[in-house]
Structure 1
C-alpha cells in the first residue's frame, strides 16, 4: 500500500501520466494511465526523493534528492542532475527547469536549458516562483520579489510580480 504524501499527486497536461510520492518510503513514481505504473521509484531504490513537478507531456519529472535536483526522462529512464540547487518548476515540454541555487551569494532563480546546458539568471535579488512559472517555450518566467531594485525607480516598498523574458 502506498502512503499519502504531503505533495499532492499530479497529472500531465495531456492526461496520460501521473506522478506521485510515497511519503513513508520517500519515493517518487510515474506511471501512464493505461495502468503501467513504474514498479521502481524514478530516483532508484536506495535514495529518498521529493516530487516537484511533472511536465505537461508526462515525459519529464523533476524531483529533489539530497542537495540536488534531478530531471528524470520517463522514456529513457535516465535523470539529469542539477547539483546543489532546489528545483522549483519546469516548462510544459520538460526542457527548461527553473531552480534556486543553494549559494546565497549568487542569483536566487535560474532557468536552465537542458538541451544546451546553459543557464539564464532570472533574478539576482531574493525571489520566489511556483510550479507553473515557466512558459511553454521556456522564454518567459513569472516570479515574485520584495526587492526594491529589480525595476528602476520602484519605491512603493511592496513585493511585486515580475516576468522575465529570454530571447
Structure 2
C-alpha cells in the first residue's frame, strides 16, 4: 500500500502520523512538551487565519506545515514548555524534527531568547532547513526595527541566522505590514505580500502587492509588474501564491487590468477566481546567479 503523510489537528494539538502503510499506525504528537509526556501548556496553531487572534491566526484551528519529505513540521504556539528557551506566552514559531524528536524555536531574538512580540505562520524549504515567518518582534535581526506592525523573516535553522525578508533592495523595512506567502524549494527565494510604498519606485499606490526576496543576492523584486515592466499593476495582487523550486516562476491572483497587453482582465472584481472575474497570472524572472538546485548558499 502506498505510504502517506497527513497532518491532523484536534483541539488545538498539532499531530502528525508517522509514514504509514495502514490506518493502524500510531499518530505522533508534534506540539509536545520538553518532557515528552504531554502536549504543550497552551494551544498550538498555524497562524493562517489573519485576524482572529491579534492578526496572528485562530487558536481553534491548526494546520501545521511540513517539509517535502514530512520530516520537519513548522507550527505556531502559545505554549511555554515546548523548548528550554524562556518564552513570555506570546505566539512563537517552532520546528519539530519528527525523526530525532526535537523541537526548535524559530522566532528567537539575536540573544537566543524568544522575540519581544508575537510571531506566526511559517513555511519551509524542501529540506526543512529554512523557515519563513511573520513577526511583530523588533529584536530578531540587527539594525533598525521594522516601522510596520508585522515583518517577514527567514531563519536558517542549521546556522541559527535570522534575516529580514520584507525589506527594499537597500535593506529598508517595508513601511506597511508584510505577510509570508511562499518559499522556493531551495530556500533562496521568498514571496511576501505588503501594501508598502517604499520597496520599488513604481509601486507607490499603497495597493496590496507581491514581492520576491532573493536572500542570497539581497535583492527585492516586484512580482505584479505592469506590461511596461516599470510599475506595479493598477490594482492589488494576492492569493495562494506559489513559487517554483528555483524561484523563477511565481503564480498569483490580481485585480489589475494592466499586467498583460490587451487588457485581458477588464471585468475586474473581488469575486471568485473560478467565476473568471479575476486575473490568474504568472511572473517569470531570471535573477543573476540563480541557484537551480540544492540548498541555498550561505546568507552570512
Instruction: Name the TM-score class by shorter chain.
Output: 0.7 to 0.9
CA distance in 1, matches of 2:39, 2:13: 9
In the TM superposition, residue 33 of structure 1 has moved relative to its aligned partner by: 2.9
Paired residues for 1:5-154 under 5 Å: 16-22=4-10, 24=11, 26-31=12-17, 32-35=19-22, 36-38=25-27, 40-44=28-32, 45-47=38-40, 48-50=43-45, 51-66=63-78, 67-82=91-106, 83-84=114-115, 85-103=119-137, 105-106=145-146, 108-123=151-166, 124-125=173-174, 126-130=177-181, 133-154=182-203
CA distance in 2, matches of 1:90, 1:41: 19
**Which is bigger in relative contact order (C-alpha 8 A, separation at least 6)?**
1
Q: What does the per-residue CA deviation read over 1:17-47, in whole Å, with 9 as the maximum and x for residues that have no partner? A: 211111x2x2111112324333x52122242
Paired residues of 2:93 and 2:121 also in contact (CA < 8 A): yes
Compared CA separation, residues 33 and 46, structure 1 to 2 (3 A): closer
TM-score, normalising length from structure 2?
Answer: 0.46
For structure 2, the residue ranges without an aligned partner over 5 or more in a row are: 33-37, 46-62, 79-90, 107-113, 139-144, 167-172, 217-300
Alpha-carbon RMSD: 2.0
The alignment covers a number of residue pairs equal to 148
Paired residues of 1:16 and 1:58 also in contact (CA < 8 A): no
CA distance in 1, matches of 2:95, 2:188: 19
Which one has a bigger Cα radius of gyration?
A: 2
SS at match of 1:115: coil
CA distance in 1, matches of 2:131, 2:204: 32
In the TM superposition, residue 154 of structure 1 has moved relative to its aligned partner by: 2.5
For structure 1, the residue ranges without an aligned partner over 5 or more in a row are: 1-14
**Structure 1 residue corresponding to 2:204, chosen from 148, 155, 158:** 155
Structure 1, 113-122 or 90-99: larger mean CA deviation? 90-99
SS at match of 1:147: coil
In the TM superposition, residue 58 of structure 1 has moved relative to its aligned partner by: 0.2
